[in-house]
Amino acid sequence: MTHMEREQIRWEVADGIATLTVDRPKQLNALDRRTLEEIRGAIDEARRSPGQIRALIVTGGGEKAFVAGADIAEMSRLGPGEAREFAALGQATLAALEALPIVTVAAVNGFALGGGCELAMACDLVYASERARFGQPEVNLGLIPGFGGTQRLTRRVGLMRAKEIVLSGETLDAARAVAAGLALEVLPADRLLDHARTRARTIASRGPAAVALAKRVLQSGADLPLPAALDLERISFAGLFGQAEAREGMAAFLEKRPPRFTGA
């Protein structure tokens, strides 16, 4: 097990599973520049560690919040140019998270509002505790989402539902978030992290090259016309047949034994 100390986040790697905990409980884990930079550094470490880190769990420190939003105290001092840079930092950080070639799992243990909802949506899988609350309440501040919320939310829940969530600024409880497509399941708070780890371990045990490619094809294909998306799938499928991982996986199936995946 390895630990890497940072000021605004906790970072732990054990048995191939990394856990990133946003840890500013007094600020309800709000995202300021420093926190975003530390999250980006952790994401970059995961990207540089193929084979060592096979899955990433994102959660919040304390019992109240996953991430309650961007840091309003910091934002209130920004002018338009500085706000553009802040949005660019947030968008780049979440784009890097979304682009990781490993599975990413959000364990939403409390408020996931504004930037917190955007952080969860940049993960592949989202599980919520009974205490979780989701929303994009920026209009209550005279603002709009700036870290990708208007776009990822539309792709997750559809345009009309996204309009209702963003334009009203209202929050959704965990059950409504699941119904809307923002989360997969609601779990008791004391089971949330164990469930996230179980799902992460399951996917981490699969062929890493296949997982990485399947994730890329799913994400890229979602924004393509169907014929182009099917072309992408066919080409990607065929390319795996030249890799040792696929040969090992098919041989293991035929020999009725567990596969031994070693690459990344």
Catalytic positions: 118, 138
Q: How far apart are CA 233 and CA 237, in angstroms?
A: 6
Q: Which residue type occupies 206?
A: R
Other Cβ atoms less than 10 A from the Cβ of 246: the count is 16
Give the three-state DSSP class for 224.
Answer: coil
First to last CA, the chain: 20
Other Cβ atoms less than 10 A from the Cβ of 132: the count is 33
Place of tokens 């949005």: 87
The answer to whether the CB of 122 falls within 8 A of the CB of 69 is no
Q: How far apart are CA 207 and CA 155, in angstroms?
A: 27
Distances (CA, A) of 92 to 7, 86, 119: 21, 10, 11
What is the spatial order of strands in the sheet that 133-135 belongs to?
65-67, 111-113, 133-135, 171-173
Query: Which residues lie across from 2 on neighbouring strands?
Result: 13
The answer to whether the CB of 136 falls within 8 A of the CB of 158 is no
Handedness of CA 57, 115, 124, 53 (dihedral sign): negative
Among the listed residues 179, 176, 175, 157, the one whose alpha carbon sits nearest the alpha carbon of residue 166: 157
